[in-house]
């Protein structure tokens, strides 16, 4: 089930995100900054997963089966993974499984956010990524430039052409007949 949110990456964009998805930050970025995601994939490999070991951790501090994290919205999963008390983890599932906006700040959540932002900025690279070749890197850079500045340049050109047309019409009207 998706919900409408203001993008984490671009506050001017509204995105549809499933808080129970495997990688909600990727879902947000693909909608709010698709060109940046494409360049990041070309330059840095696949995006970071929610946990450093994948979509779910290999184990929880409490000993509870990691599959229980799938019932939690993503902003609570890291805290549940780090919680040593199994009764508390199961209480999170009970309390937050139907709360898409539930949030429990934790070091793991901060790490996920930082790895993801780093991936978009080019300071985090997927450890399994061999790196782009020169042609791929140039194509990625060109695509990013076009996505960021292409529309602005086209608008500026249209404005210049409109001013030139107005000036030409004014000069034509000023000529003696």
Residue 144 confidence (pLDDT) = 63
Spell out, as residue ranges, where the chain has pLDDT lower than 70: 132-134, 136-145, 147-152, 154
CA distance 21 to 166: 53
Residue 100 confidence (pLDDT) = 97
Residue 137 confidence (pLDDT) = 64
Same domain, yes or no, for 86 and 40?
yes
Q: What residues pair up with 48 in beta bridges, in sequence order?
A: none
Domain final residue, candidates 115, 130, 145: 130
Same domain, yes or no, for 55 and 92?
yes
Domain final residue, candidates 130, 147, 163: 130
Residue 156 confidence (pLDDT) = 75
Residue 121's domain comprises 3-130
Give the global pTM.
0.74
């Amino acid at each position: 089930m998706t919900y409408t949110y203001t993008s984490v990456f671009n506050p001017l964009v509204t995105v549809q995100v499933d808080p129970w998805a495997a990688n909600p930050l990727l879902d947000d970025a693909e909608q709010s900054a698709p060109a940046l995601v494409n360049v990041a994939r070309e330059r840095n490999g696949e995006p970071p997963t929610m946990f450093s070991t994948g979509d779910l951790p290999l184990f929880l501090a409490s000993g509870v089966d990691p599959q229980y994290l799938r019932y939690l919205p993503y902003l609570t999963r890291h805290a549940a993974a780090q919680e040593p008390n199994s009764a508390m983890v199961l209480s999170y599932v009970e309390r937050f499984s139907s709360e898409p906006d539930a949030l429990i700040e934790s070091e793991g959540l901060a790490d996920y956010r930082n790895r993801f932002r780093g991936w978009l900025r080019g300071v985090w690279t997927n450890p399994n990524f061999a790196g782009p070749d020169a042609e791929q890197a140039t194509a990625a850079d060109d695509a990013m430039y076009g996505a960021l500045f292409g529309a602005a340049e086209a608008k500026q050109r249209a404005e210049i052409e409109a001013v030139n047309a107005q000036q030409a019409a004014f000069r034509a009207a000023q000529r003696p007949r």
